[in-house]
Amino acid sequence: MTYNLLAVAAVSPETMAVALAGCFGIAAGDVEVADLDGDPDLRNWDAPASCDYRAVHGDVARSLDIYLQGEVADQPLESELAAGFTKGARTAVLFPAAEAVPSAYWVVTPEGLLTRARLEPSDDEPPLYSVTAVEAPVPQLPRAAVTRFAEIVRE
């Protein structure tokens, strides 16, 4: 199983490991957390769960690609993982919506709010990620306009 999350705060690798372990019902030592720009020879490629992260810029600070081996019994839906991770890491988390609209995301907060979000990367290199709108106020994203997403309704 593969998951993609974006954390609003610059969560430490240790916090990521503990939060993910709680979501999957495994020990924190069974979660390999590695910077994508780090040394691949130092990785535990046999870990039951692994999280590749990268620092990103803008309204989100970390991009996480999470992979589970088949041996991990608890493999939640992406929305369930995001909700659990946000509580353990104490940061708002974005995850992709099912719709084909490229900027369509969900955001979940540590307080349990789940709402739509529009995430737009710039054309810069590296890109700057902006959350330009949400459907309900998100304290961790104060610059995002609160609005309904007509493109989601049309989809």
- Assign 149 a pLDDT band (cuts: 50, 70, 90): confident
Q: Which residue in the block uniquely carries the two structure tokens 């995430």?
A: 119
Cβ contact 16:33 at 8 Å: yes
Q: What is the pLDDT of residues 2-52, one digit of tens each?
A: 999 999 999 999 999 999 999 999 999 999 999 998 888 888 889 999 999
Question: pLDDT value at position 152?
Answer: 64
Q: What is the pLDDT of residues 88-104, one digit of tens each?
A: 999 999 999 987 676 88
Give the rounded distance of the alpha carbon of 26 from its chain centre. 19
Question: pLDDT value at position 72?
Answer: 85
- Assign 155 a pLDDT band (cuts: 50, 70, 90): low
Cβ contact 45:111 at 8 Å: no
Name the pTM for this structure.
0.91
Q: Provide φ and ψ at 111, rounded to 5°.
A: -80, -5
Question: pLDDT value at position 92?
Answer: 98
Kindly tell me if the per-residue pLDDT of 59 is higher than 70.
yes
At residue 83, the 3 state secondary structure works out as helix
What residue segments make up the domains of the chain, in order of their start?
2-154
Closest listed residue to residue 62, CA positions, set 38, 92, 40 = 92
- Assign 78 a pLDDT band (cuts: 50, 70, 90): very high
H or E stretch including 80? helix 78-89
Q: Provide φ and ψ at 99, rounded to 5°.
A: -65, 155
* Residues in the chain, total: 155
- Assign 108 a pLDDT band (cuts: 50, 70, 90): very high
**Span 129-153, average pLDDT:** 90
